[in-house]
Structure 1
Amino acid sequence: MSTATPSAPVVVEARGIRKSFGDVEVLKGIDLTVRRGEAVLVLGPSGGGKSTFLRTLNHLERPDAGTVSICGEPLGHLERAGRTTALRERRIAVQRRRTGMVFQQFNLFPNMTAADNVAAGPVHVNGVPRAKARADARELLAMVGLADKAGSYPSELSGGQQQRVAIARALAMSPDLLLFDEPTSALDPEMVREVLDVMLRLREEGMTMIVVSHEMGFARAAADRVVLISDGVVVEDQPPESFFSAPQHERTRQFLGRIL
């Protein structure tokens, strides 16, 4: 059930986002607003720009044009007296703490236990005492169903378990926003469900989420909106029931015809 309301504070405000790689313009002016408590599923064909757009929302990719604000704070630049000044990477790294990101590949530290992987950010970035960070990490691992795996190394975990550790690691930084970039695409089908269950639980608890995925089960069970990005632009932005049953654009109908 959605926890978002039309009057909820805006968490993400993206306006006119453009990004090119060489001569190829991947993003051609994307606008997106996400309010606190919303879950937005982003669909699109491979190469259409959806993952690149997601990465601009925490400045892992710096937009060539346009602006991103997270919780009202401009990301990557400072606006003062009508002038815009690019921020240094160190300051952007501080801003990036507002967002947690879960990648397709789990990116866990192989020589660290699950608990230490989760505790690493709070200890090394936020300066949390190690004992407290580890205690918090164990609580987060319990929340994602891995209470008995705190002392296990990534090589001892299944793909689904590793992805759940990655989600706990993202949550350890207490983000305002969680970004998921194809979080289940590297998993065997039987492992997908355990990751989706965690995402659904976060949804019920009111976490603001933007999810790039083709998991239709998540779309219908948890998304407030489904957004189609194709050829670098937002083609459709609708509640799930309208998106799937009455899309407004032919490009959306073509896309759904291929994936459903």
Structure 2
Amino acid sequence: MTTTAIARSTTVVRVENMIKSFNDVRVLDGIDFSVSTGEVVLLLGPSGSGKSTLLRTLNCLEVIDSGIVEVCGESMGYVDSNGKRRLRTEAQIAKQRHNTGMVFQNFNLFPMMTAVENVAAGPRHVQGVAKDEAQAQALELLDLVGLSDKADNYPSQLSGGQQQRVAIARALAMKPSVMLFDEPTSALDPEMVKEVLDVMVRLRDEGMTMVVVTHEMAFARAAADRIVFMSDGKIVEDAAPDQFFDNPQNPRTRQFLGQIL
């Protein structure tokens, strides 16, 4: 077995028979889903299909009603004990989030901090890393996302694409096991989309495990290992990109692709 095959055999994300409702509306219905080390999995589907909610359960931003959600072998947001489920404390959930780096549609940078200070903030204030060490790591990550020359710029001095790349570097600074992207290019002008997607391709090439909600079809075809298509809170297709785009099996998938391609 090759090194890559061995690495891919490790399950980072495991979801089984997961259900999530808001009030009386079931938005995720019996979800079964897994991601192995080094995989890039894209979540596609129409608006309201449950993609972002599924992503948020992986980071404890939404707590499930029933089923299993595990990241790195830990149940996210709750503990099962003696047949009963109890919520974890906020401190426990915050610690669990160290395994997941989340990148949102909006960049959510601290406006009064420079780019390098934004990236160093998590390691310094959450993980207790010394200032000089956190700064050095932040500069390395800014170089990774192509922004070493913008380290001392404030968010207001950066373009949207540059701000999103700082947000990616900030998430990477916590050394997560899996990166979660929730439509990371949807708030960007078209000319800025490529610079963010290029960074994501670079992360893929370096072996980062990623789960991505996106409508970028070219990126999905070129960069994903698997595409998971959702409709009405269910996973209706899970396939490699070539099969998904060229020979989809589910009628709902074919309808969706017929409308957008």
Q: TM-score, normalised by structure 1?
A: 0.96
Structure 2 segments unaligned to the other structure (5+ residues): none
Q: Is the 1:4–1:36 Cα contact (8 Å) retained in structure 2?
A: no
Aligned equivalent of 2:38? 37
Aligned equivalent of 1:100? 101
> 5 Å matches for 1:129-148?
129-148=130-149
Q: Is 1:119 matched up with 2:156? A: no
Q: CA deviation at 1:77?
A: 2.4
Q: Is the 1:160–1:195 Cα contact (8 Å) retained in structure 2?
A: yes
Q: CA deviation at 1:82?
A: 5.3
Q: CA deviation at 1:86?
A: 2.6
Counterpart Cα distance in 1 of 2:34 and 2:4:
13
Q: Is the 1:4–1:38 Cα contact (8 Å) retained in structure 2?
A: no
AA partner of residue 101 (structure 1): M
Q: CA deviation at 1:78?
A: 2.7
AA partner of residue 205 (structure 1): E
The one-character-per-residue Cα deviations of 1:48-99 (angstroms, maximum 9, x if unpaired) are: 1100110001110111111111111222223456554431121011011100
The percent identity for this pair of structures is: 64
Q: Is 1:252 matched up with 2:253? A: yes
Counterpart Cα distance in 2 of 1:160 and 1:107:
13
How many residue pairs match? The answer is: 258
Q: CA deviation at 1:197?
A: 0.4
Aligned equivalent of 1:227? 228
Q: CA deviation at 1:158?
A: 0.2
Counterpart Cα distance in 2 of 1:5 and 1:221:
20
Aligned equivalent of 1:168? 169
Counterpart Cα distance in 2 of 1:210 and 1:203:
11
The 3-state SS of whatever aligns with 1:255 is helix
Counterpart Cα distance in 2 of 1:63 and 1:79:
13
The Cα RMSD (Å) is: 1.4
Aligned equivalent of 2:187? 186
The one-character-per-residue Cα deviations of 1:2-34 (angstroms, maximum 9, x if unpaired) are: x96375200000112211112221111111010
Counterpart Cα distance in 2 of 1:81 and 1:219:
42
The 3-state SS of whatever aligns with 2:180 is strand
> 5 Å matches for 1:190-205?
190-205=191-206
Q: Is the 1:13–1:32 Cα contact (8 Å) retained in structure 2?
A: yes
Aligned equivalent of 1:8? 9
Counterpart Cα distance in 2 of 1:161 and 1:173:
19
Q: CA deviation at 1:157?
A: 0.2
Q: Which runs of 4+ in 1 moved over 2 A?
A: 3-7, 77-86
Aligned equivalent of 1:154? 155
Counterpart Cα distance in 2 of 1:45 and 1:82:
36
The 3-state SS of whatever aligns with 1:17 is strand
Counterpart Cα distance in 2 of 1:66 and 1:4:
30
The 3-state SS of whatever aligns with 1:46 is coil
> 5 Å matches for 1:11-90?
11-80=12-81, 84-90=85-91
Structure 1 segments unaligned to the other structure (5+ residues): none
Counterpart Cα distance in 1 of 2:234 and 2:5:
26
Q: CA deviation at 1:156?
A: 0.3
The 3-state SS of whatever aligns with 1:235 is strand
Change (3 A) 1:106 1:4: farther
